[in-house]
Amino acid sequence: MAIALPKPIADYFAADAAKDADGVARCFSDEAIVRDEGHAYSGRDAIRQWKTASSQKYSYTVEPVAIAMEGDRTVVTGHVAGDFPGSPVDLRYGFTLDGGKIAGLEIVA
């Protein structure tokens, strides 16, 4: 069963599924920060480079399976499967939204 996601988050997952790093970057505000695998990526250019590198490194799919609010963050649990060590895994995507854009994203296991 599909879950209803706020538009910026739905757009993020759609662009990620299409392996569209530019589309992913457009989902974020100019000063957004992404935290993933112990690294932080600040700004759209760094986010575009992060997404390009991660999409080239592994082949994967993400299926959002749950959504919850935790304070000011929208947390989406995504079932991630692919050719990476430990696949499949459920990851938590913690989104902070601002003005119709993603201002922050933290991805954790």
Taking only the tens place, the pLDDT of each residue in 31-82 is 999 999 999 999 999 999 999 998 888 899 999 999 999 999 999 999 999 9
The pTM of the full predicted model, rounded to 2 decimals, is: 0.95
Tell me how far apart the alpha carbons of residues 76 and 44 are, in angstroms, rounded to a whole number: 21
Q: Which of 10-14, 37-41, 75-79, 84-88 has the lowest mean pLDDT?
A: 84-88
Q: What are the structural domains of the chain?
A: 7-108 (3.10.450.50)
Query: Which pLDDT belongs to residue 84?
Result: 87
Asked if residue 103 lies in contact with residue 31, where contact means CB atoms within 8 angstroms, the answer is yes
Q: Which stretches of 1-109 are DSSP H helices? A: 7-17, 21-26, 44-57
Between these two residues, 85 and 92, which has the higher pLDDT value? 92
